[in-house]
């Protein structure tokens, strides 16, 4: 796999078209320090390993997942220090398979550099295997929305648009996420979202624009497109389907999609042409976009190159 990284300044270019009227609005992520890559300063050498001596783990768990716990920490670089999140492999799970899985996730993250994707800072091999990442202190989007129901539609649109920018970046670099859902979008601030959890992600090859799974796994069926379920085929277009479900979760303030339904009932519903109803108070323009994301045939479904500008235009429209 070839490593690539775009410079932080490249990412700024997508704002070149930002309308005058919104330029003086509240601070955007790129106006703040949190937007910066930890390696934006050339004096801070890029490395994929973190020395345990440079890492301080703090009390308190940020969350837990398949591998173990995620803790808050401080990463001391040459000139600065940065708050980080540290995914710690469970001790009893130091078996080869889980370890390989975590290293594979790290391998994908290492190749990505975008403000709307949680960056990996490095791997630390110490008392446990640890994956050191940028910190997104406000946690998963679905939980945040459940607790902050007063949030404005404009704010939701801003966050969902940021996710689409991160996904457009993945699409441009031929990666499929395969687990895009509101639970895997983490918030740095109420106005700054980042895509996380690359445990199921795959790098696509030049020749093939999809990944074919060998069999059915423990899959988030309610977020999966028909071609994933029927042919085990995963592409940027199947991520677009998941993005539609993520939009539905966001505008419904963190509700569970297809509530009370079993996986096979959801599959039947989709196959029969039915789709989820619009969440209460969802702007009709955004519901139309969700339904576009739920186009049955992957070929006819828009890519993130289409979805992202739609969201950007709508966000600018309501920001006037
Ligand atoms: P995961 O194993 O990636 O699903 O992570 C489990 C939980 O840990 C997430 O749901 C978050 O609450 C938390 N978490 C993971 N990564 C981060 C991060 N970079 N910043 C803050 N919290 C995180």
Q: Is the pLDDT of residue 243 over 90?
A: yes
**Residue 259 CA, distance from chain mean position:** 23
User: Whose C-alpha lies nearest to ligand 1, atom 13?
Assistant: 63
Cα–Cα distance for residue pair 114/168, rounded to 1 Å: 10
Domain segments of the chain: what residues? 37-134, 139-319
* % of the chain residues with pLDDT over 90: 73
Mean pLDDT of the residues in the chain: 88
Q: Within 6 Å (CB) of ligand 1, which residues are found?
A: 62-66, 70, 85, 118, 133-136, 139-140, 186, 196-197
Residue 245: pLDDT over 90: yes
What tens digit of pLDDT does each residue of 184-226 get?
Answer: 999 999 999 999 999 899 999 878 899 999 888 889 999 999 9
Residue 39's pLDDT band, with cuts at 50, 70 and 90, is: low
pLDDT at residue 13 greater than cutoff 70: no
Identify the CA nearest to 244 among candidates 190, 298, 188: 298
Give the residue whose CA is nearest to atom 7 of ligand 1: 63
* DSSP track, 50-75: --GGGEEEEEEEEEE-SSEEEEEEEE
Range scoring the smallest mean pLDDT among 36-45, 79-88, 115-124, 165-174: 36-45
What CATH architecture is 37-134? 2-Layer Sandwich (3.30)
Q: What is the pLDDT of residues 264-291, one digit of tens each?
A: 999 999 999 999 999 999 999 999 999 9
Q: Is 194 among the annotated ligand-binding positions? A: no
Summarised one tens digit per residue, pLDDT across range 135-144 is 999 999 999 9
Give the predicted TM-score (pTM) of the model: 0.89
Least confident of 10-19, 101-110, 217-226: 10-19
The most confident of the ranges 80-84, 218-222, 249-253 is 249-253
Among 133, 136, 111, 115, residue whose Cα is nearest residue 123: 133
Run of H or E including 250: helix 236-251
Over residues 238-256, mean pLDDT: 98
CATH class of 139-319: mainly alpha
| 11 contacts 114 by C-beta, under 8 angstroms | yes
Residue with CA at minimum distance from ligand 1 atom 12: 63
Q: Mutate which of 57, 75, 186 to test ligand 1's pocket (most atoms within 8 Å of Cβ)? A: 186
Q: Residue 148 CB: number of other CB atoms within 10 A?
A: 14
The answer to whether residue 179 is catalytic is: yes
State the catalytic residue, choosing from 179, 197, 313, 317: 179
């Amino acid at each position: 796999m070839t490593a690539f990284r775009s410079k932080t300044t490249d990412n700024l270019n997508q704002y070149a078209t930002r309308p005058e009227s919104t330029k003086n609005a509240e601070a955007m992520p790129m106006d703040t320090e949190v937007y910066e890559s930890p390696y934006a300063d050339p004096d801070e050498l890029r490395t994929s390993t973190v020395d345990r001596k440079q890492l301080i783990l703090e009390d308190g768990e940020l969350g837990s997942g398949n591998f173990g716990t995620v803790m808050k920490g401080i990463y001391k670089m040459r000139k600065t220090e940065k708050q980080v999140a540290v995914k710690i492999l469970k001790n009893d799970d130091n078996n080869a398979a889980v370890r390989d899985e975590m290293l594979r996730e790290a391998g994908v993250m290492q190749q990505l550099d975008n403000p709307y994707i949680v960056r990996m800072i490095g791997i630390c091999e110490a008392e446990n295997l640890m994956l050191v990442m940028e910190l997104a202190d406000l946690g998963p989007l679905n939980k945040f929305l459940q607790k902050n129901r007063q949030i404005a539609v404009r704010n939701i649109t801003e966050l969902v648009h940021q996710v689409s920018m991160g996904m457009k970046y993945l699409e441009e670099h031929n990666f499929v996420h395969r687990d895009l859902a509101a639970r895997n979008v983490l918030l740095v601030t109420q106005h700054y979202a980042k895509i996380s959890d690359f445990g199921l992600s795959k790098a696509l090859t030049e020749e093939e624009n999809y990944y074919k799974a060998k069999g059915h796994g423990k899959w988030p069926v309610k977020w999966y497109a028909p071609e994933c379920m029927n042919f085990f085929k995963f592409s940027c277009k199947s991520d677009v389907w998941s993005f539609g479900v993520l939009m539905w979760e966001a505008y419904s303030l963190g509700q569970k999609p297809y509530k009370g339904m079993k996986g096979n009932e959801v599959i039947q519903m989709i196959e029969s042409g039915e789709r989820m109803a619009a969440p209460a108070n969802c702007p009709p323009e955004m519901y139309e976009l969700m339904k576009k994301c739920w186009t049955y045939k992957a070929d006819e479904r828009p890519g993130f190159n289409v979805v992202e500008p739609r969201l950007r235009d709508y966000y600018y429209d309501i920001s006037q």
